[in-house]
Amino acid sequence: MSKSMAAISPTALDYDPLDPVVKHEPYPYYTEMRKTDPVKWLPSLEAFGISRYDDIGTVLKDGITFSSQQFWPLLLGEYDPLPEEPPMISMDPPGHIHLRKLANKAFTPSKVNMLKDRAYKIAHELIDDIIAEHGETGEFDWAWEFTALYPVTVIAEVLGVPTQRRAEFKHWVDDILSAANRAAYGPEKLAEIAESSKNVRSFFEDLYDERKDNLGEDLLSSFIMAEVDGKKMSRNQVLSMAILLLIGGVETTTNLLGTVLVEMHRHPKTKKRVHANHDLIPPLIEEVLRFNPPVQIIFRHATKDVEIGGTSIPAGSAIMPILASGNRDEDKFEDPDTFNIDRKIDVPLMSFGQGPHFCLGNYLTRMEAKAALEVAFSRFETLEVVSDDVKWIDSYFARGPATLPVKYKAAT
């Protein structure tokens, strides 16, 4: 069967996360998998894909049987900036619990709310720059000139690093995350990734050494000072946490904001309603998180022989819970393939994971996204995606538009 035929009429056997057709539009494949082969061996990644909501939940809530230790090594391979100190996302109990308690303190709703004014200000500044560059009406790339810069600026401020370096930061994060596709790259690209990995490490090493003698109000300082059960974090633990926040908190929010505009373009009635009533921005964000989430897939491995959804999985196997498929599970969400910002959601979304590693940044990203969209929709009288064809980033686990030209008219 040709690739284009496969896109029209997928069967579970066709689901290969690395196939460009699947990467472009994976949802029909997930649907077929949930129906006919819910726990499926994926030869190209040598892993079991888990597609049903309940099975994904079972895996994510049991951090003993389903270890996270291989998460970072699988994702980054030899391009991990700090391989000797795994980040919390790639740790199991008891080490994970200690670090999570420390990090949690930085992400409480009250701490995040303290950043709100800055988030609005950063969004305004970026739009000022766009209007200064392109005029009162014109065209710009929403993905490159707004969404790629906004979360990285917020995180840079949270961590206490100079925001002038945000473009460099974004470039490093993009390179490091692209290490997931390392098997497909030639020596030139791999050398670039290695260079960015080295740069991130030495940047944070320098920053740590400077900051430990000049503590401030920033997150890096609070990690240096923080204590849980009388224990402080080591230098490497602080560095590892900072790098995780940079990698975990930038591309995800960038992609969410990109996809919001794609879905509004695809659903003009919703778009009209949201532009007329900004109170609909939070339900819009929730529905985009469900319908087309920035993190499609995460990684675990089985620590013992186990059975999931009737399939035997041998100890040591790699496992990929497909969060984006869980969000479309017809047993949990009514009419799951319909984009509907009025839907009543009865179960938690899978978008931020579940269980011990549930995303620490979920409140922050929702706050950031709301601020950015409120500012954008009030500063632009019109904001139109130019083309119906979306070029998605080249990844099977992260999802968002790679580029998104928009036409706009600034509000007077």
Residues that bind ligand HEM (CB under 6 A): 60, 68, 71, 88-89, 100, 155, 244-245, 248-249, 252-253, 256, 293-295, 298, 323, 351-353, 357, 359-361, 364-365
Q: Shortest approach of ligand HEM to residue 278 CB, angstroms? A: 20
Q: Shortest approach of ligand HEM to residue 245 CB, angstroms? A: 4
Nearer to ligand HEM among residue 256 and residue 372 (C-beta): 256
Closest by alpha carbon to 384, among 218, 272, 233, 231?
272
Q: The tokens 């066709």 sit on which residue? A: 14
Instruction: Check: CB of residue 35 under 8 Å from CB of residue 43.
Output: no
Q: Shortest approach of ligand HEM to residue 373 CB, angstroms? A: 13
Handedness of CA 328, 297, 42, 90 (dihedral sign): negative
Q: How far is CA 168 from CA 148, 156, 190, 361, in A?
A: 12, 11, 18, 22
Cα gap 272→280, rounded to integer Å: 11
Nearer to ligand HEM among residue 7 and residue 115 (C-beta): 115
For the chain, how long is the longest CA-to-CA vector? Answer: 64
Q: Shortest approach of ligand HEM to residue 328 CB, angstroms? A: 15
In the numeric block, which tokens belong to residue 92? 């199991």
Sort strands 137-141 and 380-385 into parallel, antiparallel or unpaired: unpaired
Nearer to ligand HEM among residue 10 and residue 328 (C-beta): 328
Q: Shortest approach of ligand HEM to residue 170 CB, angstroms? A: 14
Nearer to ligand HEM among residue 82 and residue 88 (C-beta): 88
Q: Which residue stretches of 212-234 are H helix?
A: 219-225
Q: DSSP states of 171-199 as a string?
A: HHHHHHHHGGGGGG--HHHHHHHHHHHHH
Q: Shortest approach of ligand HEM to residue 235 CB, angstroms? A: 19
Nearer to ligand HEM among residue 70 and residue 340 (C-beta): 70
Nearer to ligand HEM among residue 222 and residue 365 (C-beta): 365
- HSE-CB at 193 with a 13 A cutoff on CA atoms is 22
In the numeric block, which tokens belong to residue 317? 């196997």
Closest by alpha carbon to 257, among 114, 369, 383?
369
Nearer to ligand HEM among residue 67 and residue 408 (C-beta): 67
Residue whose beta carbon is closest to ligand HEM: 361
Q: Shortest approach of ligand HEM to residue 4 CB, angstroms? A: 30
